[in-house]
A = this chain, B = another copy of it.
Amino acid sequence: MFKKVLVANRGEIAVRILRACEERGLRTVAVYSDADRTALHVRYADEAYRIGPPSPKESYLNIPAIIAAARQAGVDAVHPGYGFLSENADFAQAVLDAGLAWVGPAAEAIRAMGDKVTARQLMIAAGVPVVPGADAGLSDTEAVGVAQEIGYPVLIKASAGGGGKGMRQVNDPADLPRALAAARREAAGAFGDDTIYLEKVITGARHVELQVLADQYGNCIHLGERECSIQRRHQKLIEEAPSVAVPPELRAEMGAIAVRAAQAVGYSNAGTVEFLLDRSGHFYFLEMNTRLQVEHPITEQVTGIDLVKEQLAIASGRKLRWTQADIQIKGHAIECRISSEDPYNSFLPAAGRITSLSEPTGPGVRLESGICAGFEVSLFYDPLLAKLVVWGENRAEAILRMRRALDEYRIGGIHTTIPFHQQVMDSTRFQGGQFDTSFVDGPDGFRLSAAPSQNLTQVAAIAAALAEHERAQLAVILGSPCDEQGLRISPWKQAGRVGGVRSR
């Protein structure tokens, strides 16, 4: 096993990986941009190295700076997390070239799966079913022809894609040119490559993905599926394991195909094979993510296996500790992605300081968070703040528990997606398991309730009036406050004292 590991990431996933290292007794090294000097991952690690200014290109995507930190710290392995450089084959190679271990698959496997067009071709060759579509990058003119051939609606996808960027669904031939232009712009901006291809839209499909684990000796197993159909603009919002749409036989079948897909590229370490599952039980390969997935905790909750520790073991040359028969799914897990986006306002990313924070805990609740009170959320990075994960004996208990945990979660000072998740947990369609990837985006898609309870508006009105009252009272008592600190804090303290008269 390694002695010292550098985590080339930030936020909740950096903390998650640092924890696994800590629990394996490994020394840990964080890297940080100037925006993250007091972030959790910096405080958590044994050592921390500055790698640049806030802009990702100058810090978390800055390969030379990260390799230099790894050398200075004397680590023997690098874990990339997800996002940033995690699927960058050049970074993987640079880590190996520096004589360090890479906690992930070989650079060739990353490259093969990273180019979505190449991946499709490899999967077809390996007998893995794929979504009907183009098997190569397309010019705008070719795209018109292919779209006609496979039939509308079609989905434009970036060859270098990931995270929903550069994706556009087109229902009407007339919209294709503008959508192509937008997709290319977004792809070029995000990946520096505007190659696109087309896939047929499978109507009413669910997004179901299989977690695989493979060692360096050709052993490969799957850990069951995750259902990730609750998406908005191809970005996952809520995931659960297992899927209500996957009976045991289908799990075995999809799992076997997922293992075949991984083996087709000589995969080792943890990876995820994404499928679309249609209403008749047919499934189609979408892509393989050659890294740890955001939603990996739900698989951990139902299997009892710590995926990050397994990643470390595999990367250090250990054999898989499990065979397929050892893997048992117990109970049900759900994850809600809590991000700094305003669900009342088209999910626009929000920035600002976390003024207060109360985190849910208690039975069956697991929180993977990258924030703390006082932390400044910036627009430089992904808006994901934390992942709230619950386990329940069954799906009903998990939903009720998630609702309870969301109710406990208070993040002050910044808009978050918590209200969205609360309302999804309350929706009968979600509770009934009757949904597909159009749950949010579709024409009859889930909408945040605009008609809140009258009782709550009254509570809000009373709270604000009490606050205003105390502020006014205090102004009379104190005259003008003496500095900004006094102005911002004292009135509320006073409010407490005055309001407390009744019960004391």
Contacts and interface: CB of A to CB of B under 8 A. Distances in A.
Interface of A: 15-16, 19-20, 22-25, 34, 37, 44, 50, 297, 300, 304-306, 330-331, 358-359, 361-369, 372-373, 393, 397, 400-401, 403-404, 407-408, 482-483, 485-486, 489-490, 500, 503-504
Nearest to A408: B44
A37 B361 contact: no
Contacts of A330: 304, 330
B503 A304 contact: no
Contacts of A404: 19, 22-23
A304 B486 contact: no
A1 to B, nearest CB: 13
A3 B22 CA distance: 45
A133 B401 CA distance: 47
Contact of A16 (B331, B359, B362): B362
A37 B44 CA distance: 34
Contact of A486 (B359, B367, B483, B504): B483
Contact of A500 (B37, B362, B365): B37
A126 to B, nearest CB: 33
A490 B500 contact: no
Contacts of A361: 359, 361, 366-369
B363 A363 contact: no
A331 B359 contact: no
A295 to B, nearest CB: 14
Given A361-B361, A485-B489, A485-B490, 19 more contacts: A16-B363, A19-B363, A23-B401, A24-B400, A34-B503, A44-B408, A50-B503, A304-B331, A330-B330, A359-B361, A361-B366, A361-B367, A361-B369, A362-B367, A362-B368, A363-B366, A365-B366, A485-B486, A486-B486
A390 B472 CA distance: 48
Secondary structure at the A interface, as helix, strand, loop or mixed, is: mixed
A135 to B, nearest CB: 40
How many copies of this chain sit in the oligomeric assembly?
A: 2
Contacts of A408: 44
A366 B360 CA distance: 10
A400 B363 contact: no
A304 B403 CA distance: 19
Q: Of residues A15, A23, A50, which shows the largest number of chain B Cβ atoms within 10 Å of its Cβ?
A: A23
Contact of A503 (B37, B483, B503): B37
Given A486-B485, A503-B37, A19 B362 contact: yes
Contacts of A331: 304
List the 10 closest pairs (A to B, CB-CB), nearest first. Answer: A482-B482, A361-B367, A22-B404, A23-B400, A19-B362, A23-B404, A23-B401, A485-B485, A485-B486, A485-B489
A77 B215 CA distance: 54
A397 B23 contact: yes
26 contacts: A16-B362, A16-B363, A19-B362, A19-B363, A19-B404, A23-B397, A23-B401, A34-B503, A37-B503, A44-B408, A300-B363, A304-B330, A306-B363, A306-B364, A358-B372, A359-B361, A361-B367, A362-B366, A363-B366, A482-B482, A483-B486, A483-B490, A485-B485, A485-B486, A485-B489, A486-B486
Contact of A393 (B306, B365, B369, B504): B306
Contacts of A400: 23-25
A404 B23 CA distance: 6
A23 B397 CA distance: 7
A36 to B, nearest CB: 10
Contacts of A22: 404, 407
Contacts of A34: 503-504
Contacts of A25: 400
Nearest to A393: B304
